[in-house]
């Protein structure tokens, strides 16, 4: 069944506002460690999750918050988990990256590529216990160079496991430009394993939904896995406080204070050779330039989905007010102390 754009937008907005609250709490020092948000990839998450039902499983990467919220994880427990609290979803032991929620058949891992083997395991269980049900593996494009994920692609074909491999391609692995580390084309690579593969603009949630709907029958009918490649941009960079993104967004404030120390070290007679130093600076500027043009090259998926609903402004206004109030209430409750 085609997805309901109102529901898709509701999920995407709730996720975006929730993660904005997470960012606020992180900046306030209430969340320890790194924080990877899924802002910018909500179109992919919503477009896929909208086709999951009872008994379907999800294996997630380090950006698992949006799909978990969309799948129905308790947002108060999730926020408490992110805050490292004992009353969190996994007793505060997993943070935002290492979760297991049995009732949703969902698990996440910060180990790049780990969602492949996890999804293969979920799918093996489906094949044996719940025929017709599927597992989704969400991962970034850099995971496509991890052995564990490649082994999962292979095993899923060999054993006809119902895994939908969803590769969220933002073109970056932290500060490494992924094309510089990747041979060939990812779609061709997936097809070479022997599974159908399709690509889609990940900023277009409805297109992701249509493509997912087209791929899933292959899995549900027991024919093995499929692969979906979806492009996206991470609006908050790799993680909160991302230095590359900061330099791109606020070049004067970030780079100006570095100019004199940089010039001094470039001219210093000690340390690496001048050629190596100038090469390092050029490399940094090239990366910043690439990150900057990538950030401008794709639209925000939330705005894009919203535009499709502008025909009914009253309903839209009401929906946005409701979702904003719901997220505020979640945060208020999550921050309460429990006895």
Ligand X SMILES: Cc1ncc(C[n+]2csc(CCOP(=O)(O)OP(=O)(O)O)c2C)c(N)n1
CB of 303 to ligand X, least distance (A): 20
Q: Which does 287 bind (CB under 5 to 8 A by kind): Mg ion, ligand X, none?
A: none
Residue 143 as a binder of ligand X (CB under 6 A): the answer is yes
Number of residues located near ligand X, criterion CB under 6 A: 15
Return the number of the residue (3 or 112) whose C-beta is nearest ligand X: 112
CB of 38 to ligand X, least distance (A): 8
Residue 166 as a binder of ligand X (CB under 6 A): the answer is no
The region of 16-24, 77-85, 127-135, 138-146 touching ligand X under the rule CB under 6 A is 138-146
CB of 249 to ligand X, least distance (A): 18
Placement of tokens 């277009």 in the chain: 204
The region of 11-19, 128-136, 141-149, 179-187 touching ligand X under the rule CB under 6 A is 141-149
- Which residue from 3, 70, 142, 327 is in contact with ligand X, where contact means CB under 6 A? 142
Residue 198 as a binder of ligand X (CB under 6 A): the answer is no
What is the C-alpha separation between 92 and 56, in angstroms, rounded? 25
Return the number of the residue (143 or 155) whose C-beta is nearest ligand X: 143
Residue 94 as a binder of ligand X (CB under 6 A): the answer is no
The region of 170-178, 222-230, 242-250, 292-300 touching ligand X under the rule CB under 6 A is 170-178
Using CB atoms within 10 Å of the CB of residue 80, give its burial: 0 to 12 exposed, 13 to 18 middle, 19+ buried. buried
Q: Which does 62 bind (CB under 5 to 8 A by kind): Mg ion, ligand X, none?
A: ligand X
Binding site for Mg ion (CB under 5 A): 140-141, 170, 172
- Which residue from 16, 63, 71, 96 is in contact with ligand X, where contact means CB under 6 A? 63
Question: Cβ contacts of residue 293 below 8 Å, gap of 6+?
Answer: none
Residue span 239-258 as binding mask against ligand X, x where in contact by CB under 6 A, dash where not: --------------------
Token code pair at residue 75:
């947002």
- Which residue from 18, 172, 193, 227 is in contact with ligand X, where contact means CB under 6 A? 172
CA atoms within 13 A on the CB side of 164: 35
Residue 170 as a binder of ligand X (CB under 6 A): the answer is yes
* Nearest one of 231, 195, 199, 193 to 212, comparing CA atoms: 199
Interface with ligand X (CB under 6 A): 62-63, 110-112, 139-143, 170, 172-174, 238
């Amino acid at each position: 069944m085609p997805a309901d754009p109102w529901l898709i937008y509701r999920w995407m907005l709730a996720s975006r506002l929730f993660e904005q609250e997470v960012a606020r709490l992180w900046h306030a020092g209430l969340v320890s460690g790194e924080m990877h948000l899924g802002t910018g990839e909500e179109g992919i998450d919503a477009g896929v999750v909208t086709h999951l039902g009872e008994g379907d499983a999800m294996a997630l990467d380090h950006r698992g918050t949006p799909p978990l919220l969309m799948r129905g994880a308790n947002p108060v427990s999730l926020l408490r988990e992110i805050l490292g609290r004992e009353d969190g979803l996994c007793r505060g032991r997993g943070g935002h990256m290492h979760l297991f929620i049995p009732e949703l058949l969902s698990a996440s891992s910060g180990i790049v590529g780990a969602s492949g083997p996890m999804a293969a395991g979920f799918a093996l269980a489906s094949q044996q216990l719940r025929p017709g049900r599927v597992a989704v593996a969400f991962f970034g494009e850099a995971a496509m160079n991890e052995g564990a994920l490649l082994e999962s692609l292979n095993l899923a074909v060999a054993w006809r496991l119902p895994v939908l491999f969803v590769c969220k391609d933002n073109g970056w692995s932290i500060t490494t430009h992924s094309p510089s580390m990747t041979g060939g084309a990812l779609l061709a690579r997936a097809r070479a394993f022997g599974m159908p593969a399709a690509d889609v603009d990940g900023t277009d949630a409805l297109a992701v939904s249509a493509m997912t709907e087209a791929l899933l029958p292959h899995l549900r009918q027991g024919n093995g896995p499929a692969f979906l490649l979806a492009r996206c941009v991470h609006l908050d960079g790799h993680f909160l406080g991302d230095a590359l993104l900061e330099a791109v967004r606020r070049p004067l404030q970030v780079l100006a204070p570095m100019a004199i120390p940089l010039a001094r070290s470039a001219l210093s007679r000690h340390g690496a050779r001048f050629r190596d130093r100038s090469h390092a600076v050029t490399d940094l500027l090239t990366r910043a330039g690439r990150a900057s043009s990538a950030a401008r090259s794709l639209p925000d998926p939330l705005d894009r989905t919203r535009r499709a609903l502008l025909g009914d402004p009253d309903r839209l206004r009401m929906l946005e007010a409701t979702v904003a109030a719901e997220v505020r209430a979640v945060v208020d409750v999550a921050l309460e102390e429990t006895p």
